[in-house]
């Protein structure tokens, strides 16, 4: 009888213990199952909070896009520079004839040079002088008329250096049977200190019109390139 009670008691205790253990296991399993969900919730919560509008810190986030109607800085500068460069471009063809209007404009721009001589007119005088056969005689005759005077030189430039270039003065006429002009004799005048001259802007053979003070001996200085100065139109 006692054994039966003990067995009954043990059976009841085991059942109770099993019930308690079963409930504990179920609770553990439920707790384990809920942990990933809570973790995911915790992981998603900051992301959701970060995505809330109006909570970005000052200075953070993307910069506002430029307005479509606002030109970006410096956009017009290259175009303006190109336009200015085109306006200052030398004409492809330069007429070297000294007209009355051109003389008046040059003398107005450079009053010290009023009454200046024309190298082209002096050339015609040299060509008519049958006694001039050599360069030395031609330079001497040119010096006699033009030394220390303002002279207008025009023609293709040669022998370009950083500070000087040469222009030719013809002193013999072109032969009738010489269509290329190879029979003409000339000497060169070296011009220096010419305002408007920049070796980087000119090439050999370029046509120029220069008003310069002729020093003699085939040298001239203190001059002005009239096309560059916009005083030859």
How is residue 3 written in tokens?
A: 């054994």
The CATH number given to whatever domain includes residue 115 is 2.40.50
Confidence of residue 99 (pLDDT cuts 50, 70, 90): very high
Establish how many alpha carbons lie within 13 A of residue 48's alpha carbon, considering only the half-sphere containing its beta carbon. 6
What is the model's pLDDT at position 1? 43
Alpha carbons 146 and 138: distance in angstroms, whole number:
12
Question: Do 103 and 169 fall into the same domain?
Answer: yes
CA distance 26 to 104: 116
* Predicted local distance difference test score (pLDDT) of residue 91: 87
The CA distances from residue 129 to 63, 123, 141, in Å, are 83, 10, 10
Residue 179 has pLDDT above 90, yes or no: no
Residue 58, domain member (yes or no): no
Per-residue pLDDT band at 180 (split at 50, 70, 90)? confident
Predicted local distance difference test score (pLDDT) of residue 158: 97
pLDDT: which is higher, 18 or 76: 76
> Do 111 and 207 fall within a single domain?
yes
Domain count of the fold of the chain: 2
What is the C-alpha separation between 155 and 94, in angstroms, rounded?
9
The pLDDT score that the predictor gives to residue 77 is 55
Do 103 and 44 sit in the same domain of this protein? no
Total Cβ atoms within 10 A of residue 58:
5
The pLDDT tens digits of the residues spanning 124-152 come to 999 999 899 899 999 999 999 999 999 99
Residue bearing the bigger pLDDT, 42 or 161: 161
pLDDT at 147: 98
**Residue 174 to residue 183: CA distance in whole angstroms:** 6
73 domain-assigned: no
Specify whether 139 is located in the same domain as 40: no
Domain ranges, residue 179: 95-225
Residue 26 belongs to some domain of the structure: yes
89 domain-assigned? no
Q: Do 132 and 215 reside in the same domain of the chain?
A: yes
Same domain membership, residue 155 and residue 210? yes
pTM over 0.75: no
Same domain, 21 and 114: no
**Please, what is the average pLDDT of the chain?**
77
Is 20 among the domain residues? yes
Q: Same structural domain for residues 37 and 116?
A: no
d(CA 212, CA 152): 7
Q: Are residues 120 and 18 in the same domain?
A: no
């Amino acid at each position: 009888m006692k054994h039966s009670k003990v067995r009954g008691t043990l059976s009841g205790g085991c059942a109770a213990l099993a019930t308690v253990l079963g409930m504990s296991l179920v609770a553990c399993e439920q707790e384990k199952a809920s942990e990933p969900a809570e973790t995911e919730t915790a992981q998603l919560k900051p992301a959701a909070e970060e995505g809330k509008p109006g909570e970005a810190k000052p200075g953070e986030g993307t910069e506002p896009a430029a307005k479509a109607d606002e030109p970006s800085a410096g956009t017009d500068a290259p175009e303006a520079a190109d336009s200015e460069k085109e306006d200052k471009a030398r004409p492809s063809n330069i007429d070297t004839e000294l007209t009355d209007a051109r003389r008046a404009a040059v003398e107005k721009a450079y009053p010290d040079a009023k009454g200046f001589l024309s190298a082209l007119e002096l050339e015609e005088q040299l060509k008519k002088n049958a006694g001039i056969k050599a360069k030395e005689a031609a330079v001497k005759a040119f010096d006699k008329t033009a030394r220390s005077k303002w002279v207008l030189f025009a023609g293709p430039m040669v022998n370009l250096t950083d500070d000087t270039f040469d222009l030719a003065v013809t002193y013999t006429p072109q032969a009738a049977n010489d269509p290329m002009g190879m029979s003409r004799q000339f000497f060169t005048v070296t011009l220096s200190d010419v305002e408007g001259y920049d070796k980087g802007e000119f090439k050999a053979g370029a046509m120029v019109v220069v008003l310069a003070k002729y020093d003699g001996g085939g040298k001239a200085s203190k001059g002005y390139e009239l096309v560059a100065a916009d005083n030859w139109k």
